Amino acid sequence: MTSSSVTGLWKKLTGKFSKSSQGAAHHVAIIPRDQHTVSRRHISEAALKVIRKLNDEGFEAFLVGGGVRDLLLGGQPKDFDIATDATPEQVRNAFRNSRIIGRRFRIVHVRFGREIIEVTTFRGNHSAPASNPQRNKHSAQTESGMLTRDNVYGSIDDDAARRDLTINALYYSSRDFCVYDFVGGLDDLNNKLIRIIGDPETRYREDPVRMLRVVRFAAKLDFDIEKHSEAPIKRLAPLLNDIAAARMFDEVIKLFMSGQGLHTYALMQRYELFAPLFPATQKMLSQREPAAEEIIKQGLINTDARIADGKPVTPAFIYAVILWPMVKHLHKEIMDAGTPEIAALHQAAERVLHKQQQTVAIPKRFSLPMRDIWELQCRLTRRSGKRPEQLLEHRYFRAGFDFLLLREQAGEIEPGLGQWWLAFQEAHVDTRGAMLSQVPTGDKPRAPRRRRGPRKPR
């Protein structure tokens, strides 16, 4: 595409160089194909189909966000997002295999088999007067500045200004094969900087989850956080208490299942972002419980290693590790009051999970396996009779066993039990009997007492 046609496309997109929400003209950097590394060969065919279809319908469509960022860094993106000037309804009408989701922030999911392409309409600014009925219909903010409805549409340069990080505001066009940079994202990418777009405090108040995104990308990419973007985070961290608990579940998964969970956790502690999400666990950590800190760190180390090796990781295990210090503490308290071991564990788990739901809502499909993992910590110490063989058939035995090894690695329990179970799993059926006969006496249940009958009269 010639330089004149690129300029023509740019004028069409921005309304002849429209102004930003701050009133300053945008100076877009247009990087031609021979000066960047983004190639259609590395872009999902489904994403290219969405772009072509929208273009054929008369709309503009760009690959945007993490897909462009990762391709420029030489990686292979997992997800490809599209930004367009088509409204959600127009996108929905163009694709039968799509649906509109979200209320606060409406987007369209276009499905191709198991792959989902996320399509968003160019976002506009919220500078319209409060008396404007259109603004009231599509935009709403709380007194603290948090956006509760964000469906104001605008041009591509407005959209760039509304995105969270400069490195996520890069656009790629499959028409001219150029990369469009509106906010200096390429410079920050080259300088390895995480920078929030606009005034940091205002943007964090609009959506406090942006603070989590800043630390997540800093850990994931091993970038530094720009000083102005960093400055208000610790002070504004309590704003996370205002976020819906259901939304926080997915955010925590992104934080700790990105392959850089340990680094992310360290940054969350530095900026005091962990406490609003897991207040009970933070209470244990604040009491300088070395075992609590160690098991969380060891759990994240093991999770990062599994992700690096391409092994599956379940959110249930991550949450079981993070909440275990408080479960263990309550378990001991309830047992000391005279409740039997397993019953005490059930009560402790119930109380911890009930409290946790107020900040991070954990669905039952994960909270139920978590309870099983915790309960297995009691059952794995009982190695007599048919119990070990039966436990091997337990559907969460492997997760419970891995959790036991984690506790040994963290120094919470004496080593040896994990090695015994590892050997028992690998032993031949005939050998297992001999292993059971050598189990220490403390691991065997007491013989049941004989019931005495009524005394016979003399």
Check 150, 158, 159, 164 and give the catalytic one. Answer: 164
Is 140 in contact with 151 (CB distance < 8 Å)?
no
Taking the CB of residue 85, how many other CB atoms lie within 10 A of it?
Answer: 20
Check 70, 81, 150, 304 and give the catalytic one. Answer: 81
Cα–Cα distance between 80 and 91 in angstroms, integer? Answer: 16
**Under DSSP, is residue 5 helix (H, G, I), strand (E, B) or coil?**
helix
* Count of positions (residues) in the chain: 458
CA 315 vs. chain centroid, Å, equals 10
Is 93 in contact with 128 (CB distance < 8 Å)?
no
DSSP code, position 447: P
Angle in degrees, CA 209, 215, 220, rounded to 5: 120
β-pairing verdict for 115-121 and 107-112: antiparallel
CA 277 vs. chain centroid, Å, equals 12
Question: By C-alpha distance, which of 31, 107, 113, 98 is closest to 71?
Answer: 31
The pair of three-digit structure tokens given for residue 224, joined into one six-digit string: 């530094």
Cα–Cα distance between 260 and 307 in angstroms, integer? Answer: 9
Is position 443 annotated as part of the catalytic site? no
Taking the CB of residue 16, how many other CB atoms lie within 10 A of it?
Answer: 8
Question: By C-alpha distance, which of 153, 211, 170, 197 is closest to 64?
Answer: 170
Burial of 309 (0-12, 13-18, 19+ CB in 10 A): exposed
Is position 81 annotated as part of the catalytic site? yes
Q: What are phi and psi of 444, to 5 degrees?
A: -100, 140
Cα–Cα distance between 266 and 273 in angstroms, integer? Answer: 10
Q: How far is CA 257 from CA 21, 68, 92, 401, in A?
A: 36, 21, 31, 20
Cα–Cα distance between 158 and 18 in angstroms, integer? Answer: 9
CA dihedral (45, 47, 49, 52) in degrees, to 10, reads -130
Is position 157 annotated as part of the catalytic site? no
Alpha helices (H) in 226-276, listed in sequence order:
227-230, 233-236, 245-256, 261-270
Check 79, 187, 402, 443 and give the catalytic one. Answer: 79
The pair of three-digit structure tokens given for residue 394, joined into one six-digit string: 């337990």
Find tokens 């409290």 and name the residue. Answer: 355
Question: Which amino acids are annotated catalytic?
Answer: 79, 81, 164
